[in-house]
Structure 1
């Protein structure tokens, strides 16, 4: 392989050396150790150890300290506890309580211990002072003699401060003491002399990780004072090993565990009880020998270094993932099946590092190659489309027919006529030259060579002002068959098959595809690009969506035919607009209507850079929303010119009348002036509220209570209802919290209630109900009015829409109230509906999503 194409060669040596170097660098951090701890914690907490039925805890808790007084308690109290547990049938009693100082009550406690026969006491290894050597702290001599066994109470904290296990043996010099749990289970005596060492040296042996039953409080625990004060309980303690120790806050050992960390640490007595439970079921976990982890890591490094450089990228990922999976299975199988803790962190890091390293080698190689290809593409920046000179004459004739709409034509293959209309072979001029047009009045002729075959093509053009422009356009077309491009030599370098395919695909990639994919496809407008014959060569997704034509059928379709098929028109015809764009090279802008939507299509001619080829870019913009806004604007102008202007003119006329005779102002005139002013104000308020509703966004939403909103709206229209003696009956007691704008929601409810009052007869009732339905807050407003005709229901929420029945009855509105309600509801992602029966009344139902559907 040429080094110019592949600057870094992926080999087992390069892969292996880089992996080893990174692993050595990672060893300076705590990452591998923390990863091993994390895997152990996740495994043991996901599948906690089963609880042994032979263990229980008597806890020195806060309640016991409160009843028995401050610590230390008299040893007669502990003797009394032993007597109670003896009576209850406890098999073994393990104290996680130090008795280092002799006491006058030791005789009583020792006697109780001897009567039971299986009482284990703890020892503690610590220096007497900060400046003295480590020493063993044993129970008082009389208690030591009475104990069945002694055990050390030390729990090992790992480097991250979490307790995961302990040493089964611990001591000074050659005197090794078993742990409390081991002493309670096998009664090994007072130690072992199998590890000779200096008497001042702390010796620890046989570390075991403890699979815990759960977090603090999981084991069966009974309060010290309750066991002491109640009768013996054989059903609780008989045949069990009972651990006695402190669980009160601030008293005794506090051990973070994988279940709790520092949030809810475990007491020392609970940890020892967990250890005994695991020991009793043979579940304690041994650590694998030291050589296992580096050996496993080196094996993984060797395997991946040999395999990955030869694999495909997808198989590389699969191999790395498979390696991780195998290591995790081995780790978890060792923990749960063989009770063996295999540290796999370093081995796990190997595939996690190998994957990006292998990918980096491939990316470096690919990047170098792609850069060369991009440089080549940059040096020849031209867009290539199928040249007319490469098309079959029959296809050319079809395109000319779609583009120019000739009055007649003739296509001959040698002496044979393929297609004709209005022309015969006798009309063919004798001075034709291959690839050059000959124009005779409104007739244009050309001779085409395709291989060894000669074709003759003639057209009868429209005999009008466009003829000369069309003939100039035809002369610009290069229809003469060009000689084949020289065949490029294949590169001599031996590159991989994958890169070779990429290179070939890059060579086949043309600038038109780049232009389309990088620019046109993401434009907000629809884009169509044609060639010199107005045949579609590209259309973006908007065209496919708006015209509902599949993309394969768009490519190769004449543009004029596409437009005529969806928006046929006679003046001016589409082919004329398209052809003039090409022949006159002038832009055109035309209205277009497709499936009841309004569009604006702009035709613009273009020339390819460094080429004589031309075409059309058609930009289609969706102006339906703009047209709708124009319609609404016209409606608003009409509304203002009539409904707003009318009361203002009446007010001015009334004011002029009062000015002419100010001494005779009647109350009726002032009342009328007030009504007109209120109507003008009401119209202005409707416009303002509608504008606010249209501009509402969720940034102005906040928590609001729906029932309170409806109650406020009811209070706002109560005076209006009282004038007609209409009762507003509100039903609803549940608080329904929404995420919305309370002010506009209240205005919307007021509009509904106001309409109900307006259209209801006097001495009637309006039923208002607020309730919850699923995840929605609902409001229904039912009146006993005249109802709404069925043909008016679909247009009820349109702007400026008024009911004929209401207008005839003398109830005049603006036609904006219900439109405002609908906009507010839609802005809150809700819905509104109406049910009405003429003569019986109407019921409006409003539904809004509640803020917390799970509450």
Structure 2
């Protein structure tokens, strides 16, 4: 079973279910609430609410305590403050100071409150002692009767201990008291009384988050003692709501806020003043309905589940980031434009979780895909051949015998002869190094170590030109196993193992591609591969060479344009052949001629497996040699039908004439019959010799001396030369050894000398020189004949080619002699040339390689 198999597939359903499950698990922790509070604190501190123009604080601060004495002060101070504020035009006075106990000055205080008419005093909900139930701690009855309204002074602290809001209505049972800020903003004495609850139950309603204007001291604040001791200031208090409360250290409430935390807390009266400021500007933030947050979470999860599985990996971070920005935008718009706090922490966590989740799915899919592909690659064919160093010496000897055909061999194992021919153990050199060839003339030796055995292998190579090439080849062979390759430690990480397997597979594919490309390049035929539109996508080097088109220009060139540019034709046109190959999916074979060379082009359609892509593979074969052979074959038939048949027919006619009158046999008729017979024999002999020359290979070569060959040839034509009074002058004394076929070389020299005698006038001389020039043995034959015309020199060695000058003068030839000479010289890796001047004679020069050029 595949270790990387996973039952879960990457679909919108699986993505959505897993993502929703993770979010629900996170909802059971405090993380979403912390994130929501952090978002609110960040937004509110960066964009604080403005301070209302009609709110001001009179603070019971440290200066006031120092000037007016220790707390509690006589309530006449508060009465005087109300009178001062009333005189200054204050619209509403809100005391954030509890007055639960009666005091002697209450009547004075109550009278001042009544005279102003809009003074609000606080109440407090708390148990009297630890063993009592929660109860309402109201001011004393005198003050309650004089106050315009009562308001609770409670501020809510969140789970992290930070004050962010309060309940506008709070009370016991069915009686709800407004907060001080709400009491200052409205003239209603109590809140709604629709709640039916026991009188000891604390009921709170209409929670609102307060967007603070800033930290402590943001709301305009005046010291209690300064207001009390100075004349009324209408410019400061006229038409405003004045909050009176304690800000001195250790006296009033201490509330951590988003602006301060515990470093610089805010007093309760400042928080109430901020609440009133936001309430008067309709900036208090209400919580979103309970269904909003689940809907936002669900919408985010659905969006991510539908989009991410279909999205490209590079775009996944962008989509998650945009989703994150959209959720944050929803939060900020609701907070500042709609005054609604939407908890979006879980919705923000959705894209943060979706990105690694989607990446994990893709990584798992990639891992499974890589495993399948790697398994397929492991089963695919690859280029690998057994190393010669792993083969037994017996196998090596067998292969060497088949490959090189040595004259002898010897194989010993620990001084025991296993195989021998033409070599003896005494021939083994001393101090042979293991794994390295030792060459001594035509003997080659190597010592091989296989396990605990020591082998010695020797070869006796042919002592010819191939010996050095074979010995160079043997030096390149690695027949001794090297050090064992240490296998790399298996990577511990799964992904590292996959990467290593991919690298190995990629290297194998690259080697296979290189092998295929090199194979195409080394093929004897030209290869062109096109796409489905007939446009060239690949061509090997033969195409570049034969068409003489640079390789960059071939790629992307339509095949039809290439063929029409080099071999234009009308019937059938190239575009028709190419298009029919593609449309009919049928192979075509057409003749092609490029730069005076004959080719055969085969069009074969192909289709890639598991794909709609198809195209053409065009195989171009050079058939110039085949066409030349066909031409020679036709010329040979013409030669046989004309030159050979003609003397035979004449002989038959003459024989029939003699048979009719055998009593009158003329000597001239017999001589004519002899000439015709000799001519037929001469033609047949040249034809046979030409065939022998064409079939000559180096296996029929042997050591021969060139000067002796020339002397034998001279002696063979001396009688013919003497009949015409032509002298044959040979110059040369140096022995020049060749590796070749002496019989055919002698016949070639005889042909040259016979031509020289035949085409030279009587009484002239033929100069024959044999000499050495560098690494070549040279022969020159110069005559004083009629010479060769310049226009016939290029075709002098063609088969069945006769000179017009010689035919007109009555000297007839077969046209095979010089062709035979050229083939023999080429088979011996030599060269032949001619220099001629009409009317003065010709000189033939023949050059052949010497067998041992260093001798």
Band of TM-score, shorter chain: 0.3 to 0.5
Using the size of structure 2 for normalisation, the TM-score is 0.45
Using the size of structure 1 for normalisation, the TM-score is 0.45
Q: Which has the larger radius of gyration?
A: 2
